[in-house]
Structure 1
Amino acid sequence: MPIATGAAPAGDAARHRLVAATAGLVLLGLLWIMPDRDDLGRPLVLTCLLGAAFGVVLQRSRFCFWCIFRDWLEDRDPSGLLGLLAALAVGLVGYSLLFGIWVPAPAPGRLPPDAHVGPVSLTLAAGAFAFGVGMALSGSCISAHLYRLGEGAYGSLVALAGAVGGFVLGFLTWNTLYLVDLHRAVVIWLPAHLGHGGALALQLGALALIAAALLRSRRTSPEDPSPRSASATGGLLQRKWPAVTGGILIGWIALLAYLRSGPLGVTAELGSVARTLASTLDLLPEQLFGLDGLAGCATAIKSALWSRNGVFVAGLVLGSVAAARISGDYRATVPKMSELPRLFAGGLLLGWGAMVSLGCTVGVLLSGIMAGAASGWVFALFCLTGAYAGWLLRRQRLGRI
């Protein structure tokens, strides 16, 4: 993903500022016309603003789950993964403080409200593995495909179209998976078994051990978290942000979102569009067993224009457009015809994996681990395993990504 290293021509800079201002005006227009709250009383305006902030942070810190994992695989550069660990650590501490107030006596079967504490199952492992392979094939996770639209990566449209198809495939296979596996899945919320303090200590300890292992394995110097690591010229939005800085900001955004709106997630609206489309075409079974009662990125049939996740995603894309244009990161790239099957196939795997896992790297991994859900850790393990398998496949058949 290109990062501007020099001054852009005056004409290009003016055009970028114009597009950034237009994105800001579109965002303001959305905030003006949307209702303050959705049908369930959840704030929409605040959610859209949080989405815009999320998009800016993702774009400026290059917070793409696939990219940061690939950096470590190919260059043993742990900077991005350390940023991910920082986001999880901030979120874990913040969520734990909230849960200590909302659920002072945690116990099995008593879960925090609206948290992404999902079931642990073979289906979750398979979905996470498929999602990881899909990241490698398509070149990004779903959240990164969304923010890369702001950078002019039009191949992301192909991958996202594939993800819609993947969600439909997930709905079509759901009942079989539920009867074979999911009906006996268990929901494991770590504070219910270890207490708030024990769960927090265990998970922070695991993050610390992972960070130490990453630092020992590096071949390049870790990213300097000071502003001097970025370009010395330009303003805040014209410099690349250190990954750890981005991770800390994402942790705070996740905490604010959960406190005022709901857990971070980017697939609910995409899944709802797919479910509504498939239902309209009479492709879905009459009932999807147990789906709507499970925690995660909900994919209900759309009955209203405005939805919490929809305005969050809209804000994310607009925020990334503005950040990419101001920084000069915008590079219009159109995929070659030979790349379209790979992008679409990767998107299919992303969509199927996100549907059967009840979310993606944001909804299950980030929000799940922050909430102390064992499902978040299981997703992380199998998603990274799938990403490694996809990386090997691409290196063997298609060369370096």
Structure 2
Amino acid sequence: MKRTSLTLLMLVFAGWLLWSVSARQAALFAVGIGLGAVLAGQRFGFTTGWRILVEDKNPAGVMGQLLLLALAALLAMPLLGYFPELTAALGPPSVSLLVGAFVFGLSMQIADGCGSGTLYKAGMGIPMNAAILPLFALGSFLGSWHLGWWLDLGRAPAVGLVGEWGWQAALAATLAALAATALAVAWYCRRASRARGQAAHPLVVRRWLVGALLLALLATLNLVIAGQPWGVVYGFGLWAAKLVQAGGVDFAHNWFWSQPGNAPRLQEAVLQDVTSITNIGILAGALWVSAARPAKARALNGQQWAVALTAGLLLGYSSRLAFGCNVGAMLSGISTGSLHGWIWVPLAFAGTMVGLRVRRHFGF
């Protein structure tokens, strides 16, 4: 489909949202289109950034992500401080967080995409990610169904640094931690390159730099318009929950779906959910980019398909246990001052180290 036709369809849908749903949902759809276009256009992959750091000692992707976190925190934390009606992406430190983050980091390397990566690559028409998307949704729902049991294994109260310290101290601490991480990554990559007898990779690459700037701005718009940080996983789980509910399953006694913030979502139309409408926008934005720059997809054998689809199911399940993916837990968590985001990252990175071994074993 040509870009002109896609643009017209997106404008018509946005107008219908404005007329039939709300101005907020129409605006969030536009934000989602921007997110999808940036992710696909700049190939800003969280999974890829981690992979090239480990395998190629190339810091550019992770440096871009650290810049994104810093810019998003610079924009989000003062807003949270001055406007208490805005919410942070908080998650409780828990057994479920530890297990979920590790399994997610492992699975995303096999599936070649985190939550946002799966979404924008599916929008670009990459067959593996398009096939993984419904399994991701199913896994997210199953994780939400079991979350109460996982939390009973042990949890502590969620900690929001903005609420505990004030936005100025929370921002200073966050920027200092991100700067320390950037220095450590730069040192590691230079040392590894010298040991290999190779020239060091550049720390900053334009596409990662541009992607970080645009994503930070769009994530902040999402926070202001939706009243909550950018997320991906919740929408997936809701889509599957709606289908299960339509099959006659009673959600009244489920721990997750009986929560005051979740129960109303089951009664509302999907297009009224802020995460769902942004996800739909990401799919549309990525499709718009692919109309001019079609994505290349490698062929997979039967074994690789089975492994990838299993990883997709685990992606969904583990992301719900971990209270988010690279977007909901890492980007939105850290940039809005949630302690759980800082716990998520090292566990997910440890999982990535294992996932890369599995990926190589099956020849992805």
Asked if 1:345 corresponds to 2:310, the answer is yes
Q: Which moves more between the two structures, 138-147 or 317-326?
A: 317-326
- Report if aligned partners of 1:161, 1:344 keep a CA contact under 8 Å in 2: no
Contact 1:24 1:318 (C-alpha < 8 Å) held by counterparts: no
Matched, 1:210 2:181: yes
The residue number in structure 2 matching 1:33 is: 16
What secondary structure is seen at the aligned counterpart in 1 of 2:89?
coil
What amino acid is the match of 1:370?
A: S
How big is the shift at 1:216? 1.7
2:151 maps to what in 1? Answer: 178
Hey, what does 1:62 align to over in structure 2? Answer: 43
Name 2:5's counterpart in structure 1.
Answer: 22
Unaligned runs of at least 5 residues, structure 1: 1-17, 104-111, 226-240
The match for 2:236 among 255, 270, 278 is 270
Distance apart, 1:256 and its partner CA: 1.4
Give the corresponding residue for 2:161. 190
Letter paired with 2:143: G
**Partner SS, residue 95 of structure 1:** helix
Please say if residues 144 and 237 of structure 2, whose CA atoms lie closer than 8 Å, have aligned partners that are also in contact.
no
Pair 378,322 (structure 1): closer, same or farther in 2 beyond 3 Å = same
Residue 102, structure 1, aligned to residue 86, structure 2: no
Is contact 1:155–1:343 with CA below 8 Å preserved after alignment? yes
Within 2, Cα distance between the matches of 1:313 and 1:90? 22
Q: Does 1:368 align with 2:333?
A: yes
TM (norm. structure 2) is 0.88
Match of 1:159 in 2: 132
Deviation per CA, 1:3-29: give whole Å up to 9, x if none.
xxxxxxxxxxxxxxx522232222112
Q: Aligned equivalents of 1:286 and 1:373: distance in 2? A: 29
- Structure 1 residues 49-88: aligned runs within 5 Å: 49-88=30-69
Q: Deviations over 1:209-254 (max 9, x none)?
A: 11111112223321555xxxxxxxxxxxxxxx52022112111111
User: Deviation at 1:78?
Assistant: 0.8
> Any idea what the Cα deviations from partners look like across 1:254-276, whole Å, max 9, x if unmatched?
11111122311122221101112
2:97 to 105, 108, 124: 124
Cα shift readout 1:296-338 (whole Å, capped 9, x = no counterpart): x999425314132222112111111222332x34335564333
- The 1:298/1:341 distance shift into structure 2, 3 A limit, reads farther
Q: Counterparts of 2:264 and 2:135 in 1: how far apart (Å)?
A: 17
Q: 1:386 to 1:291 in 2, by over 3 A?
A: farther
Q: Secondary structure at the match of 2:166?
A: helix
Alpha-carbon distance between aligned partners in 1 of 2:80 and 2:138, rounded to the nearest angstrom = 37
Query: Which runs of no fewer than 5 residues in structure 2 stay unpaired?
Result: 194-199
Matched-pair contact (CA < 8 Å) for 2:63–2:204? no
Distance 1:267 1:279, change over 3 A: same
Mapped to 2, the partners of 1:64 and 1:345 lie a distance apart of 21
Larger deviation, residues 280-289 vs 209-218: 280-289
Aligned to 2:197: none
The TM-score normalised by the length of structure 1 is 0.81
CA contact (8 A) 1:91 1:254 kept: yes
User: Does structure 1 retain, via aligned residues, the 8 Å contact 2:35–2:282?
Assistant: yes
| Cα deviation, residue 378, structure 1 | 1.3
Structure 2: distance between partners of 1:27 and 1:114 = 29
Structure 1 residues 114 and 59 mapped into 2: Cα distance closer, same or farther (>3 Å)? Answer: same
Instruction: Answer yes or no: is the 8 Å Cα contact 1:136–1:390 preserved in 2.
Output: yes
- 2:295 and 2:264 mapped to 1: Cα distance? 32
The 1-side partners of 2:136 and 2:256 are apart by 22
1:383 and 2:348 aligned: yes
Q: Which amino acid in structure 2 is aligned with residue 301 of structure 1?
A: L
Cα gap change, 1:293 to 1:61, in 2 (>3 Å): same
Report the counterpart of residue 222 of structure 1 in structure 2.
202
1:114–1:340: structure 2 CA closer, same or farther, 3 Å change rule? same
Preserved CA contact (<8 Å) 1:124 1:357: yes
Cα deviation code 1:177-201 (max 9, x no counterpart): 23333xx431101133333222111
Number of the residue aligned with 2:220: 255
Higher percent of residues as helix: 2
Match status 1:242 vs 2:207: yes
Distance verdict in 2 for CA 1:334–1:33, change over 3 Å:
farther
Letter in 2 for 1:363: G
Contact 2:105 2:352 in 1 (8 A): yes
- Structure 1 residue 384: deviation in Å? 1.5
Partner of 1:398: 362
**CA displacement at 1:75 relative to structure 2:** 0.4
Aligned position for 2:72:
91
1:366, CA displacement in angstroms? 0.9
Q: What is the count of residue pairs matched by the alignment?
A: 353
Distance 1:301 1:73 in 2: 41
1:237 alignment counterpart: none
Amino acid at match of 1:213: A
